[in-house]
Amino acid sequence: MLLQQILNGLTAGSVYALIALGYTMIYGILGLINFAQGELYMAGAFATVLLLSIYQVNFFVAFLFGMGVAAVLGVILERLAFRPLRGSHPLVPLISAIGASIFLQSLALLLFGPADRSFPIQFEFAALEIAGVSVSALQVAIFGTALFFMALLVAFVKYTKFGKAIMATALDQDTARLMGINVDRMIALTFFIGSALSGAAGIMMAIYYNATYPRMGLLPGLKAFSAAVLGGVGNIPGAIVGGLLLGVAENLGAGYLSSGYKDAVAFAILIIVLLVRPKGLLGGRSH
């Protein structure tokens, strides 16, 4: 029972971690909470589901397409809603992000209707036995995919020129610009990567819960933000640890306390972290 809850928690947590990475990277580089992150998650899921239900394409093609749509949408968002506001009072881009979030959410509601859409492809996943606990192969696949993306991101930031440029921009924009880094392009790239990861998270959750709907991004977005705060905002390993911990805590809370208030766990954790250790478990960037 306990192990079962922990494994369920790790599955959900790995998805939260993917979204939290987007929050953390964008926060690190712009000092902005991108409220629309949950909507990019939704957009990724919708793009994949729609493509799969209209054309008979390969699942992996559709997956990449969904990530691509989310990424491009993220870049467009940055260009239209955030770039013109750079340098203004921090409140202003925050409200703009809220506007973008509500715009995308209600646009999806208008275009696709409020009903749940099931995932067009049925997967046959065997139930595995691991240490006496039954785990569906789907959970293992989600967890594995999420870990793969996280590893990819960490490697990208650490070992590539672009990744280093992003880090430099997050540390000090003016100096980065002096070193010949195109700051605008790095910010756009950050949005591209963060949004693609959120899109991937959305697609995986659309398969896991077999439901895609316009408001699907609201709660995961909120929880992922809590995860980012838990690990330390602006800290990439922190987002991963925070996401996994939050997923486990949430499932334990639902299993042992009350399932009706499952969604409240993340929020309670957020408040406690802000009270006790506002810079998060692994320490956020100096803000």
Partner 1 sequence: MTEYLLHITIISGLYIILTLSLNLIIGYCGQVSLGHAAFYGLGAYTSALLTIHWQVPFFLALPTAAVIAALFGLGLGIPTLRLKDDYLAIVTLGFGVIVDLILLNLELTGGPDGLARIPPPRLAGIDFRNKVYYLLLVAAVVAFTLGLIYRLVHSCHGRALKAIRDHEITARVMGINASAYKISIFTLAAGLAGLAGSLYAHYITFINPESFGLHTSILVLTMVVLGGMGSILGSVVGAGVLTILPELFRRFADYQDVAYGAMLIALLIWRPQGLLGSGKISQKFSLSKNRAKKER
As measured in angstroms, the least distance from the Cβ of 232 to partner 1 is 12
Taking a C-beta distance cutoff of 8 angstroms, is the pair 19, 201 a contact? yes
Given the complex with partner 1, which of 135 and 229 has the nearer CB atom? 229
Given the complex with partner 1, which of 63 and 243 has the nearer CB atom? 243
Q: Does 161 help bind partner 1 (rule: CB under 8 A)?
A: no
As measured in angstroms, the least distance from the Cβ of 223 to partner 1 is 9
C-alpha 60/C-alpha 245 separation (Å) is 29
Given the complex with partner 1, which of 57 and 179 has the nearer CB atom? 179
Q: Does 282 help bind partner 1 (rule: CB under 8 A)?
A: no
Subset of 15-54 contacting partner 1 (CB under 8 A): 31, 33, 35
Q: Which of 2, 144, 261, 277 binds partner 1 (CB under 8 A)?
A: 261
Per-residue interface string for the shown chain with partner 1, residues 187-226, x marking contact by CB under 8 A: -------------------------------xx--x--xx
Q: Which of 172, 179, 256, 257 binds partner 1 (CB under 8 A)?
A: 172
Given the complex with partner 1, which of 4 and 173 has the nearer CB atom? 173
Containing 130, the helix (H) or strand (E) segment is: strand 127-130
At residue 232, φ and ψ (nearest 5 deg) are 110, 110
As measured in angstroms, the least distance from the Cβ of 147 to partner 1 is 26
C-alpha 103/C-alpha 97 separation (Å) is 10
As measured in angstroms, the least distance from the Cβ of 236 to partner 1 is 18
Looking at 130-138, 151-159, 160-168, 271-279, which segment touches partner 1 (CB under 8 A)?
271-279
Q: Does 229 help bind partner 1 (rule: CB under 8 A)?
A: yes
**Beta carbons within 10 angstroms of residue 235's beta carbon:** 22
C-alpha 235/C-alpha 27 separation (Å) is 9
As measured in angstroms, the least distance from the Cβ of 41 to partner 1 is 15
- CB-based contacts of 218: which residues, under 8 Å, 6+ apart? 38, 105
Subset of 86-145 contacting partner 1 (CB under 8 A): 86-92, 94-96, 98-107, 109-110
Containing 133, the helix (H) or strand (E) segment is: strand 133-136
Beta-carbon-side half-sphere exposure of residue 112 (alpha carbons within 13 Å):
22
Q: Give the single-character DSSP code of 78.
A: I
Torsion on CA atoms 58, 152, 37, 285, rounded to nearest 10: 180
C-alpha 28/C-alpha 5 separation (Å) is 32
Looking at 50-58, 119-127, 150-158, 172-180, which segment touches partner 1 (CB under 8 A)?
172-180
Long-range contacts of the stretch 258-265 (C-beta < 8 A, 24+): 263/219, 263/223
Containing 136, the helix (H) or strand (E) segment is: strand 133-136
Q: Which residues bind partner 1 (CB under 8 A)?
A: 31, 33, 35, 80-81, 84-92, 94-96, 98-107, 109-110, 172-174, 218-219, 222, 225-226, 229, 233, 260-261, 263-264, 266-267, 270-271, 274-275, 278, 287
